[in-house]
Amino acid sequence: MAHYKPPPKGVQAIFRAIYTQAEECRETFMDTLREFFDHLADEWDAQQPPDREEKLRDLLTPFRPLLQEARGVLEIGTGTGALIPLLREAAPTARILSVDLSHRMLQYARRRCPWASLLQADARHLPLTPQAVDLVVCHNAFPHFQDKPATLMELARVLAEGGHLLILHDLGRERVNAIHQGVGGVIGNDLLPSGGELGRMLTEAGLSPIHIRDDPEQYWGVGQKAISPPR
């Protein structure tokens, strides 16, 4: 069997430089994205339809059994916190942690829900231990993940075995993508993948795609983390 030979030191230095430059570019982009949502926060709630709460409650209805059984819920991309009271309503005994990239969005979430547990963080680098929660809810945030496969792997890392990831949109994929492309700028390329592509991403992240909905009305992706066989 051939022995592995590490690349020469000069090549290693080139790889490190490329990686460092890529990370710096990513951080710069994330700062720009964070600023975009900070500015959007002041007008976000005013842009929502009057029946927004009813629509969000309906969106969660098929997943109430999962929410009722959950002991720990992680909400990714809480924004101004519109979903937090409905998660508490559906999962009254669970520990709920709501995360967002934007500090300004979280300020509005705090005003809405003074009792909530909130955290400013990048979903790709969560300061949580492995298997910390048994349900992850990602509502209207998935298109904004700049590295979707890597972020899904991070969400799978913090998800307990047998736990579920819910990717939810209360609009269809084509409409979501048209909105983002119409806004342009930093979110112009933040697009939802097809249902088939989402299923492939979930599988590669170690999550079984147990339900995919990709129609003009709504967009869902439900993945479950496998339970390891006993040793």
What Cα–Cα distance (Å) separates residue 165 from each residue in 46, 56, 108, 111, 152?
29, 17, 25, 27, 9
Place of tokens 């890392």: 157
Residue 18's pLDDT is 42
CA 162 – CA 167 distance, rounded (Å): 16
φ/ψ of residue 17, rounded to 5: -65, -40
CA distances (Å), 226 to each of 8, 29, 111, 158, 178, in order?
40, 34, 38, 13, 35
Report residue 133 as tokens: 């929660």
Please provide the CATH number assigned to the domain covering 44-225.
3.40.50.150
Average pLDDT for runs of 10 along the chain of length 231:
58 47 59 93 94 95 96 98 97 97 98 97 97 98 96 98 97 97 95 97 97 96 91 74
User: Which residues, including other chains, have CB under 8 Å from residue 201's CB and lie 6 or more apart?
Assistant: 148, 149, 152, 193
Extract the tokens encoding 8.
């020469």
Question: pTM for the complete prediction?
Answer: 0.87
